[in-house]
Amino acid sequence: MKAILAMRRAAFFVWVCAAISTADVRLPAILADQMVLQRNTYVPIWGWADPGEKIAVNGSWPEAQEAQSTASTAGKWLTLIKTPNAGGPYILTIKGNNTIILNDILIGEVWICAGQSNMKLSLDGYWDDPIMKKSVETADFPMIREFFVPRVASALPEPDCQGQWQTCTPQTAGSFSAVAFYFGRELNQKLNIPIGLINASWGATSAEAWTSSETLMEFDAFRNAVQRLKASTISLFDDKTYNKIVDSWKQKISSIDAGTKAFWQKPDFNDSDWKSMKLPSPWTGTDLSKTDGIIWFRRQIKLPPSWTHTDLELHLGLIDDIDTVWINGIEVGTTLAWLKPRTYRIPASAIRAGLNTIAIRVIDPRRGEGGFTSKPEEMFIQQMDAHLKTRISVAGVWNYKFSHPTPIPDIPLSEPDKRVNQSVPVCLYNGMIHPLILFRIAGAIWYQGESNCYDPILYRKLFPAMITDWRNQWKQGDFPFYYVQIAPYDYGNNVYSQAIREAQLMALDKVPNVGMAVLMDIGEEKDIHPVNKLDVGKRLALWALANTYDQQNIVFSGPLYKGMKIERNKIRISFNYTNGGLVAKDGPLTDFMIAGEDHVFISAKAVIEGDTIVVSSPDIQNPVAVRYAWSNWARPNLFNEAGLPASSFRTDDWPLNETTQNASKNK
């Protein structure tokens, strides 16, 4: 995976701050049409405007009272507006020098849905699964909305993100996170209120990437990485210096680029002899599949006369790696970070009624995939005024021509590029969580841990610290945080995923107002992404329904280890959440092991006695410890009467690197 350039990202941050502090009222992306606002509270509404500009915010619900604010000298403003009980659709009006009208607003419950690939995987990622397929086909849930946070790693805390809200329909549900969808559907059906799902997820990412620098500085393991990152951004706000560097680099590109020399960006340039391809498309499967260098793209778009009186916004999705864009020969921007969705403001002075020429110079400077890698619906041009957001697609057939091969002049500040990506501590918090922390939420659900299996002891402190960090950032107190205990999977030797499950189990006692969905029964030995996301979402929802929404008579957890008592040559294990009794599913209990003072575990007999289990072996007369499903891969069978599985556990705290940490002896 290619990385975001830290200093270039910061330059974008500077550009955003400069642009929005001298413009009319502007809102962050998450405050938009079709959003869900948290009910029965005061929700922040914020944005940017001219310094000193007075802002008024009004909701169309009966209880709404006008909220007012004045933009600061930095061009920022924030106010609070009271929300009613669940309902909608409503209209939200924000008025300053200009007026923004947000339509189809619902009031309900809003949840952050975050983590790595098992949270990220969408319903259409399992299209061969009949349950998932039916879920999409029947997904007519107008009261469920999802906001997808684009995947962005950043060296600095971002003020905003891209993305848009989508209403859940059979046409859109396929792109929803499967876990978030099933969680939201369960809440919607049980509570009969609107549910907002904010999907902030990225595959193969670790918890430290989702944690702020303030918290990571408390860890010896991450302090140096955070300090290096800060050191690389000390002079980032000197935009004159940075822009000078970038301009110098662009001049070098122009000196070798045949397209720049021949003015391929000009609207009257004749590109009739160029090849054509449909965009968006990566290079794979085209005659550019083995191409590195500079490629130009051109297309004409017809715009109505009414669009010539206001600034427009061009969206191009993700482009691998670097692009510069011209509209009718006027340069509107350059992006140097390949994981950043392209959004360019087009001044009204550059727009013509009728045909307008878009020219894009794409630079792919290194081996690997290149091209336009987003979905067709992410390529469009629109008016800036919120109440006039008519879109015209720019996806489709474009003409293209290869201009110059590699090597390309060194990209500015390429060294930070190697440090800032989705694996770097703090960078996903900066790029994907920080833009959200003013948005009022009910709570969070979390599915992650696989990428931290290589240091499970550190995770015991890191995971609770991340939860606390998010709560400190949101300033909403100890909001509910419900997470998934990772499923069994064959990680191979020297990986103790059972110890990550143990760390997640420990978090229940370390952090208030949390809950854990156990997946011991749905893991897949050779697939780290279990197909069964339905039960994952429903089990997370059980915690929320019982503990956040006070629904009665709900069993929300399987048996969790409570304590042990040695009884001569046996050990009695007690549990929390037995809820009607313990159950051995499909035969006698399996996956129990017992050890004596030699720390050697052997298979054991386990028998249910009331709400306890008695574990023994005729080969061990003086037992000292018991383990259950203590391995990377297991398919154990201990449940409670409600059909919820027990978590794996151990009664000892012996070092993980002992050669006997797994079953090593069967007598």
Residue 305, pLDDT score: 85
pLDDT band at 240 (very low <50, low <70, confident <90, very high): low
For the chain, where do the domains classified as CATH 2.60.120.260 start and end?
Answer: 239-405
Q: Is the pLDDT score of 665 beyond 60?
A: no
Asked whether residue 502 carries a pLDDT value surpassing 60, the answer given is: yes
* Residue-level pLDDT at 419: 47
pLDDT confidence of residue 6: 38
**Res 51: pLDDT:** 92
State if pTM tops 0.85.
Answer: no
Q: What was the pLDDT predicted at 8?
A: 36
Q: Which CATH architecture has domain 108-221+425-548?
A: 3-Layer(aba) Sandwich (3.40)
Q: For residue 576, give Cα distances in angstroms to 480, 518, 544, 579, 614.
A: 20, 14, 18, 8, 16
Distance CA 157, CA 230 (A): 11
**257-261, 366-370, 424-428, 589-593: least confidently modelled range:** 366-370
pLDDT in tens, 81-116: 999 999 999 999 999 999 999 999 999 999 999 999
Query: In which residue ranges of the chain is CATH 3.40.50.1110 found?
Result: 108-221+425-548
Those residues whose C-beta lies under 8 Å from the C-beta of residue 546, and which sit 6 or more positions away, are 554, 556
Three-state secondary structure of 223-257? HHHHHHHHHCCCCCCCHHHHHHHHHHHHHHHHHHC
Q: What is the pLDDT of residues 177-195, one digit of tens each?
A: 999 999 999 999 999 999 9
Mean pLDDT of 144-170: 93
pLDDT of the residue at 411: 67
Relative orientation angle of helices 130-137 and 178-191, to the nearest 10 degrees: 50
Q: Is the pLDDT of residue 385 over 50?
A: yes
Does the structure show a pLDDT above 60 at 242?
yes
- Give the pLDDT band (50/70/90) at residue 3: very low
State the Cα torsion 404-405-407-412 to the nearest 10°: 50
- Confidence at residue 412, expressed as pLDDT on a 0 to 100 scale: 64
pLDDT on residue 326: 96
Question: What would the mean pLDDT of 156-162 be, rounded to a whole number?
Answer: 91
Mean pLDDT across 120-136: 89
pLDDT tens string 424-461: 899 999 999 999 999 999 999 999 999 999 899 999 99
Residue 389 pLDDT > 90: no
Mean pLDDT of 374-401: 83
With bands split at pLDDT 50, 70 and 90, how would you rate the model's confidence at 13?
A: very low
Q: Residue 208, Cα to own-chain centre: how many angstroms?
A: 14
**What is the structure's pLDDT at 427?**
93
Determine if the peptide bond prior to 321 is cis (ω within 30°). yes
Query: Residue type for 295, please?
Result: I
> Is the pLDDT reported for residue 22 higher than 70?
no
DSSP secondary structure, 326-380, as one string: EETTEEEEEE--TTSPEEEEE-GGG--SEEEEEEEEEEE-SSS--EE-S-GGG-E
74 burial (CB, 10 Å; 0-12 / 13-18 / 19+) is exposed
Return the minimum-mean-pLDDT range out of 15-19, 56-60, 162-166, 516-520: 15-19
pLDDT mean across residues, the chain: 89
Considering the domain 239-405 in this protein, what is its CATH number? Answer: 2.60.120.260
